[in-house]
Amino acid sequence: MSATLQQIFALNPVTTILDTDLLYLVNSPYTPGTDAGITGADLKSLFVLNSSLPINVARGGTGSVSFTAFSVICAGTTSTGPFKNVSGVGSAGQILTSNGAGLLPTWQTSPSSGVVNPGLINQVAYYPASGSAVSGLATAANGVLITSAGSVPSISSTLPSAVQGNITSVGTITSGVWHGTAIDETHGGTNQTTYTLGDTLYASAANTLSKLAGNITTAKQYLSQTGSGAVSAAPVWATIAGGDITGAALTKVDDTNVTLTLGGTPTTALLRAASLTLGWTGQLGLTRGGTNASLTASNGGIVWSNSTQLQILAGTATAGLALLSGSSTTPSWSSSPPITQINTQTITATGAFTYTPTTGTKYAIFELQAGGGGSGGTSGTAGQSAASGAGASGGYLKILVTGSSNLAAITGSVGVGGAAGASGNNNGGNGGDTTLVINSGTTWTASHGNGGTGQAASASVQNAANSGIANANTTGTNATLILNLPGSTGGRGFTGGASITPSMWAEGAGSHLGVSQKAINIAGINYGGGASGNVNATGSNAAGAAGAQGVVIITEFISA
């Protein structure tokens, strides 16, 4: 025993035990001490509580030291407060009645009374008649409590028809799993117990449901059914044919300029009738065949295009006017009549000439080609060779002459071809200039090609003599220059000295109107070409070749 408990016994020695004292035994052995009133080796520890002090509720007591005999005890006003007596013990037949939170119950007289008649085990008590007598309701095996049409209760295994109808007709089962036989069609079921993905239920006969297997093809299909006119038929999967749909019409209302042709079967083409009303807004672009502009017609007007849209050049009241280009801008009417004929004059006679325009000529293009130079001659010595220079080609001018006064006063000259270099070491002659003077203006000159240089024979390898050079052309007045091409210098050659192997003669320069002369010591080709040079190893002197003469070619643009 702890020192504390020993102190308690020392202060309160136990000498006698009264029937009002409370004894508390603990299992630990007790060793006698100063409280000599308790002895014995087998005596348990003994605590004597003072009977005048109550044990509180928290210590397992009631918190009170006395209660009214035969009274009802209630808990206190708090969870640890002292227990309370219900006031009094009540009278015979009274019942204990709650008076609400915070108040002790009290004994009260029952508001009514009655008689419970004897009954049997498992019977349900009920009032067989109005009043206060309760009797037992006769039992029955496997029955349920029902009432008759007159509200009399009984135990029966058969439900009243009204209750049965609530279950089979309008009742709703909200939980549970049905494990009975398949419910047939006449009782709201399907009479089917298994289904495959895609199955569809249908009535195959009166009060009989069957399953149509799902469509297992890769094509989209729909339910189709065709009756006899009096009796339906089982549905099947089928594709929709055009004739299966009663179509509605597609109609149209044309615009003045835009019309629509309805192909196919427009009267039955749609599921719902529709109509197209055609109209026009905005401007039809050029890429769609339109004008991209809002135009106003003009009598005799001309349609032309700018960079984005078509335009109309208003007509003119003056007859015989020609349409004149605006050079990438608006065209206009011109008093110059249109060109209806093109004529060509070619002046080949060398020397001076006077141009006579063809009647109706409005303007003309003049091509001036000067004469080409001749090639040089060569001297000859036995065992030696010489190579002469080739002639240059004549220059070329192309000009436009307009206006009747200018066309009526044109003179000029055609240049000759350069003479061949005389036999021996002699230069070729220069070609002649081809000129044009328009209405007393300054002269247009296509300059001649110079002749090639002659060469003496030599036993050593040497280059050919210098070929003729070209000269610059000169522009004049009262005309428009179209093309200015000076002539070309003749080619270069060489000789092998004692032998002409190897050697190369100089090519004659080609003009704008011809090609170069590639053959040895031949006159210039066509008009204005230079003559080719010579290679001479004959031991005798040789002459060069002549250059080609010039020419004037006139293209006339005539309005009849």
**3-class SS letters over 476-506:** CCCCEEEEEECCCCCCCCEECCCCCCCCECC
Residues 6+ apart with CB under 8 A from 391: 372, 373, 374, 375, 418, 428, 431, 449, 450, 451, 452, 467, 468, 490, 508, 509, 524, 530, 531, 532, 545, 547
- pTM above the 0.85 mark? no
Pairing label, strands 310-313, 153-156:
unpaired
Query: Considering only CA atoms, which of 517, 525, 522, 507 is closest in space to residue 467?
Result: 507
Q: What is the pLDDT of residue 503?
A: 81
Q: What is the pLDDT of residue 405?
A: 94
Q: Which strands make up the sheet holding 410-414, listed edge to edge? A: 351-354, 410-414, 434-438, 444-446
Q: Are 497 and 459 in contact (CB under 8 A)?
A: yes
Q: Are 500 and 524 in contact (CB under 8 A)?
A: no
Low-confidence ranges of the chain (pLDDT < 70): 1-52, 93, 111-113, 165-173, 320, 336
Query: Considering only CA atoms, which of 452, 446, 448, 445 is closest in space to residue 416?
Result: 448
CA distance 211 to 232: 16
- The one-character DSSP state at 51 is T
Q: Tell me phi and psi for residue 119, to 5 degrees.
A: -140, 180
Q: What is the pLDDT of residue 69?
A: 81
Q: What is the pLDDT of residue 359?
A: 93
Residue 397 C-alpha from the chain's centroid: 60
Q: Determine the 3-state secondary structure of 251 from DSSP.
A: strand
Q: What is the pLDDT of residues 119-129, one digit of tens each?
A: 888 888 878 88
Please give the structure tokens belonging to residue 414.
Answer: 């055609």
Name the helix (H) or strand (E) containing 165. helix 161-168
CA distance 485 to 64: 147
Strand partners, 238: 222
Pairing label, strands 551-558, 341-347:
antiparallel
Query: Considering only CA atoms, which of 546, 522, 549, 548 is closest in space to residue 420?
Result: 546
Q: Determine the 3-state secondary structure of 162 from DSSP.
A: helix
Q: Are 144 and 153 in contact (CB under 8 A)?
A: no
* Cβ-based neighbour number of residue 416 at 10 Å: 23
Q: What is the pLDDT of residue 486?
A: 96
Query: Considering only CA atoms, which of 447, 481, 461 is closest in space to residue 537?
Result: 461
Q: Are 548 and 529 in contact (CB under 8 A)?
A: yes
Q: What is the pLDDT of residues 218-248, one digit of tens each?
A: 989 888 888 888 898 888 898 887 777 787 8
Cα 229–Cα 234–Cα 236 angle in degrees, nearest 5: 115
